[in-house]
């Protein structure tokens, strides 16, 4: 459930908002419906990894990887797919940390309520 919510919401909102909307989506989703710490960490990671890999290929395949090849050369890499992997893993890492923080934020708020 967490995986699909993050995947669909990120896809739709990134059409009109900047890339870092994934931070807010992962935080809110895992804060509201994340069941465990593992789910809050890995589901956002794989959702954004899949989304960004798919979108990068969708944008890059029609122009035969022209732009991403030039970016790879700027980074000193010889293959376009290394940039694809790097960007997808980096986006997944950002989403994973945000989701994990959202889950623990909810736990902290619930713990504070039960103590008062």
Name the residue among 32, 29, 19 with its Cα closest to residue 109.
Answer: 32
User: Exposed/middle/buried for 65, CB within 10 Å: 0-12, 13-18, 19+?
Assistant: buried
Instruction: From first to last of the 116 residues of the chain, give the pLDDT tens digit.
Output: 999 999 999 999 999 999 999 999 999 999 999 999 999 999 999 999 999 999 999 999 999 999 999 999 999 988 999 999 999 999 999 999 999 999 999 999 987 777 76
- Predicted TM-score (pTM) of the model is 0.91
Our count of domains for the chain comes to: 1
DSSP string, 89-107: HHHHHHHHHHHHHHHHHHH
Provide the domain limits for residue 63.
2-115
């Amino acid at each position: 459930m967490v995986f699909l919510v993050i995947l669909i919401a990120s896809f739709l909102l990134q059409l009109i908002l900047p890339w870092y909307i994934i931070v807010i989506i992962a935080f809110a989703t895992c804060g509201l419906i994340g069941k465990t710490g593992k789910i809050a960490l890995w589901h956002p990671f794989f959702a954004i990894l899949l989304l960004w890999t798919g979108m990068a290929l969708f944008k890059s395949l029609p122009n035969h990887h022209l732009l991403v090849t030039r970016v790879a050369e700027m980074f000193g890499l010889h293959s376009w797919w290394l940039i694809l992997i790097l960007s997808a893993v980096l986006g997944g890492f950002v989403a994973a940390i945000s989701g994990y923080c959202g889950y623990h934020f909810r736990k902290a708020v619930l713990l504070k309520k039960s103590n008062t």
